[in-house]
A = this chain, B = another copy of it.
């Protein structure tokens, strides 16, 4: 029996509730299947711990994480710690140092649920996207600084760094993803009209890599502002989407909202070389406003867990991951087992129980 070692980092707020829910569902899935199981190490790296002891992760965090096959991440961020501190002491260093240069964000309207746009209410299958987000450089490179403090002459900069190596690998991943899907279509997003250095390099590399897929993957380009309009009005014209760290961050939240709720959206932070563990996390945050009330939507957490199973199985557990998704969608079909953000009134525990029963 194969044992997968999972580093679980529940983090802050609803991250704790939904990680617990994901672990329950994963264990149920393993039990039902019988050929594999999960062994968890839970790390208490959180804003709460930071406020007590002054740090999020210990100095050897990378070594500790590398002892696992995958990382399951809940959420980080809490009002009493400035966000840029919590994020730069945990989620962003993990993504960058674990070489998780791809962030995959599938979005579609789950069977039986209702999206806000009327076109999509009539034809939910019009929205079925995979957003491939560059996850290691760009606007989140972390460079930049402040001169003249925060006084009257203060100047602050954010330096976005783009490398051909970084762009080429994300483009290849995106083209391969597009190629693996029935529609074989890739849309590349930039803001190369206003940002004429890094974004123009994106255009150049895209054109180069596209040549290798000529006749295999259909492709087009969009500016990020116009892309939001197309997502609202012509969802059916897109399939796989590739964009920079910041642009894809924005577009994937919009995508989740258009699909019905930010609470359902999953993400996979992948190191495609498999030299480091990849990380799976729902895209919603710690949601301080509803934390501790037991009403967080665990669907984004389940879907992320399903993607983790898919990744760990290297093709051999796709059926199991599909079974997990099937269970989630069956449960979503009934308003009685949906949380508030999806028009229901079920608790996290009730949804989790329903999904486990369904598995």
Instruction: Give the B-binding residues of A (Cβ under 8 A).
Output: 77, 82-84, 86-88, 92, 116-119, 121, 139-140, 142, 144-146, 150-165, 191-201, 204, 223-226, 228-229, 232-233, 246, 249-250, 252-254, 256-258, 262, 285
Question: Chain B residues with Cβ under 8 A from A92's Cβ?
Answer: 194
Contact sample, A vs B, 19 pairs, CB 8 Å cutoff: A77-B193, A83-B192, A88-B196, A117-B118, A118-B121, A144-B160, A146-B200, A150-B201, A153-B165, A156-B197, A157-B159, A158-B198, A191-B249, A226-B253, A229-B253, A229-B256, A229-B257, A232-B257, A250-B250
Inter-subunit contact B194/A87 (CB<8 Å): yes
- Checking B117, B161, B225, B246 against A191 with a beta-carbon cut-off of 8 angstroms, the contacting residue is B246
Inter-subunit contact B157/A197 (CB<8 Å): yes
Taking A161-B155, A191-B246 as contacts, is the C-beta distance between A146 and B197 under 8 angstroms?
A: yes
Question: Chain B residues with Cβ under 8 A from A117's Cβ?
Answer: 116-118
Q: With the chains together, A224 CA to B83 CA distance in Å? A: 14
Residue of B nearest to A85 (CB): B196
- Checking B142, B193, B198, B250 against A224 with a beta-carbon cut-off of 8 angstroms, the contacting residue is B250
Inter-subunit contact B200/A156 (CB<8 Å): yes
Q: With the chains together, A194 CA to B162 CA distance in Å? A: 16
Question: Chain B residues with Cβ under 8 A from A87's Cβ?
Answer: 193-194
- Checking B83, B204, B262 against A150 with a beta-carbon cut-off of 8 angstroms, the contacting residue is B204
Residue of B nearest to A76 (CB): B193
Residue of B nearest to A140 (CB): B194
Q: With the chains together, A164 CA to B229 CA distance in Å? A: 32
Question: Chain B residues with Cβ under 8 A from A157's Cβ?
Answer: 159-162, 197-198
Question: Chain B residues with Cβ under 8 A from A285's Cβ?
Answer: 226
Q: How far is the CB of A192 from chain B (nearest CB, A)?
A: 6
Residue of B nearest to A262 (CB): B229
Inter-subunit contact A254/B233 (CB<8 Å): no
- Checking B77, B151, B158 against A160 with a beta-carbon cut-off of 8 angstroms, the contacting residue is B158
Question: Chain B residues with Cβ under 8 A from A201's Cβ?
Answer: 146, 150, 154, 156
Taking A84-B192, A164-B152, A228-B228 as contacts, is the C-beta distance between A197 and B158 under 8 angstroms?
A: yes
Inter-subunit contact A154/B164 (CB<8 Å): yes
Interface pairs A-B: 5 shortest CB-CB? A83-B193, A84-B196, A228-B254, A225-B253, A144-B197
Inter-subunit contact A228/B250 (CB<8 Å): yes
Q: With the chains together, A278 CA to B86 CA distance in Å? A: 42
Residue of B nearest to A194 (CB): B140
Q: With the chains together, A226 CA to B192 CA distance in Å? A: 24
Q: How far is the CB of A92 from chain B (nearest CB, A)?
A: 7
- Checking B116, B121, B152, B162 against A155 with a beta-carbon cut-off of 8 angstroms, the contacting residue is B162
Q: With the chains together, A195 CA to B249 CA distance in Å? A: 13
Taking A194-B87, A195-B139 as contacts, is the C-beta distance between A116 and B246 under 8 angstroms?
A: no
Q: With the chains together, A229 CA to B285 CA distance in Å? A: 13
Question: Chain B residues with Cβ under 8 A from A249's Cβ?
Answer: 191, 194, 225
Question: Chain B residues with Cβ under 8 A from A144's Cβ?
Answer: 159-160, 195-198
Q: How far is the CB of A154 from chain B (nearest CB, A)?
A: 4
